[in-house]
């Protein structure tokens, strides 16, 4: 295990900047997730840590070593990619063993280390098979075992679950989390899937257009997004964001009014609230216990049955806002909806900059 320090790292290709001023210390044994949409710079950041991309500016340290000029093989890291990268002519056993041969680990250690890694990812019954005879989930587990067998200072994982179907993603995600709990190896994990980030990470780095937007625990990022980009990226569904005017603690927008907001700020703002925090009320029903806040009065735009709840959406100006109702709630498109929005659940952002107020 090792601490990894990324010190003001920038990557440019001519006039194009892929990553700008990335600065972060990753604790020994931490599971850090780089999260963002395609093209945000998360994979480029990981490739610079791995030594697969040159650094334009800044420094990267793994443990006590500055690794800017070290070859990937000398950085003592293991990588797991979206593509499994297995050797089709080798058995599962030999695929897992291969890194030990390359690194000239004494042969007498090979068998025990391969069996230990295979057992961790439940591959003991498949060691004689070739990759072609395995499912996608099993192949990814071979790739994980091949990374584990080296016992590296750090794991780097680049969207390792992207090629798996939804059910396999859930089970493999659980396996990765359990492996990290067992091995306690420093891990950097790249994904565009915010559910993976929220369930796996000790800390999440949200990126957009090469810049770090926010760093924090999953709870911190969910409960207090730093800006409208983070608010709109995290959550399923994402946070509702409604543009309007704020004056004297009262927010107004088409079909929406919320009172009692604890701020002296005035002017154009974006108000955010999460679908599960608002509530569908009966016509004329007040907020619970006279809580400060307000309502949205708008026709139902769409309705989705989720099993454990019903999701309805309404249009507020240019925004479409989603609200979770009880699982037995039913309405037709166009029916009037009466939605309660307590002031305590609201987030306010500067409309011009998107930054949290």
Are the beta carbons of 186 and 3 closer than 8 angstroms? yes
Alpha-carbon torsion, ordered 87, 90, 96, 102, to 10 deg: -70
On average, the pLDDT of the chain sits at 94
> What does the DSSP assignment read for 215-281?
EE-HHHHHHS-SBHHHHHHSTTTTPEEEEEEEETTEEEETTEEE---S----EEEEEEE-TTTSEEE
Q: Report the pLDDT value the prediction gives residue 46, as an integer from 0 to 100.
A: 96
Query: In this structure, which long-range contacts are made by residues 305-313, counting pairs with CB atoms below 8 Å and at least 24 apart in sequence?
Result: 311/237, 311/275, 312/280, 312/337
How confident is residue 283, by pLDDT bands cut at 50, 70 and 90?
A: confident
Are the beta carbons of 82 and 57 closer than 8 angstroms? no
pLDDT above 90 as % of the chain: 87
- Please return the burial class of 56, using the count of CB atoms within 10 Å of its CB with bins 0-12, 13-18 and 19+: middle
Collect all residues with Cβ–Cβ distance below 8 Å to 275 and sequence separation of at least 6.
Answer: 235, 237, 240, 311, 321, 322, 323, 324
pLDDT of 14 higher than 90: yes
How confident is residue 168, by pLDDT bands cut at 50, 70 and 90?
A: confident
How confident is residue 65, by pLDDT bands cut at 50, 70 and 90?
A: very high
Q: Which domains does the chain have, with CATH numbers?
A: 4-232 (3.40.50.300), 240-350 (2.40.50.140)
Q: Report the pLDDT value the prediction gives residue 204, as an integer from 0 to 100.
A: 98
List pLDDT tens digits, range 117-139. 999 998 999 999 999 999 988 99
What mean pLDDT is predicted for residues 69-96?
92
Count of alpha carbons within 13 angstroms of residue 81, beta-carbon side: 7
pLDDT of 335 higher than 90: yes
């Amino acid at each position: 295990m090792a601490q990894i320090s990324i010190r003001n790292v920038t990557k440019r290709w001519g006039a194009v900047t892929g990553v700008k001023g990335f600065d972060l210390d990753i604790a020994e044994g931490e599971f850090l997730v780089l999260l963002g949409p395609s093209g945000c710079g998360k994979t480029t950041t990981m490739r610079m840590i791995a030594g697969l991309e040159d650094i334009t500016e800044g420094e990267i340290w793994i443990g006590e070593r500055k690794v800017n000029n070290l070859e990937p093989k000398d950085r003592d890291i293991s990588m797991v990619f979206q593509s499994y990268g297995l050797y089709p002519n080798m058995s599962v056993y030999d695929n897992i063993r291969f890194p030990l041969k390359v690194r000239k680990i004494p042969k007498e250690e090979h068998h025990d280390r391969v069996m230990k890694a295979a057992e961790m990812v439940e591959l003991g019954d498949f060691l004689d098979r070739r990759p072609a005879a395995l499912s996608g989930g099993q192949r990814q587990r071979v790739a994980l075992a091949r990374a584990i067998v080296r016992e590296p200072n750090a794991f780097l994982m680049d969207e390792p679950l992207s090629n798996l179907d939804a059910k396999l993603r859930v089970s493999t995600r659980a396996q990765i989390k359990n492996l990290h709990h067992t091995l306690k190896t420093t891990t950097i994990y790249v994904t565009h899937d915010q559910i993976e980030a929220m369930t796996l990470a000790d800390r999440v780095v949200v990126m957009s257009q090469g810049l770090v937007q926010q760093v924090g625990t999953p709870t911190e990022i969910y409960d207090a997004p730093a800006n409208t980009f983070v608010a709109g990226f995290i959550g399923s569904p994402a946070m509702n964001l409604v543009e309007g005017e704020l004056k004297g603690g009262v927010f107004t927008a088409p079909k929406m009014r919320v009172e009692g907001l604890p701020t002296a700020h005035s002017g154009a703002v974006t108000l955010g609230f999460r679908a599960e925090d608002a509530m569908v009320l009966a016509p004329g029903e007040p907020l619970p216990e006279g809580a400060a806040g307000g309502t949205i009065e708008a026709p139902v735009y769409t309705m989705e049955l989720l099993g454990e709840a019903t999701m309805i959406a309404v249009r507020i100006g240019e925004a479409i806002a989603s609200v979770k109702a009880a699982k037995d709630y039913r309405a037709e498109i166009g029916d009037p909806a009466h939605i309660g929005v307590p002031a305590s659940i609201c987030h306010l952002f500067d409309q011009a900059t998107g930054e949290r107020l």
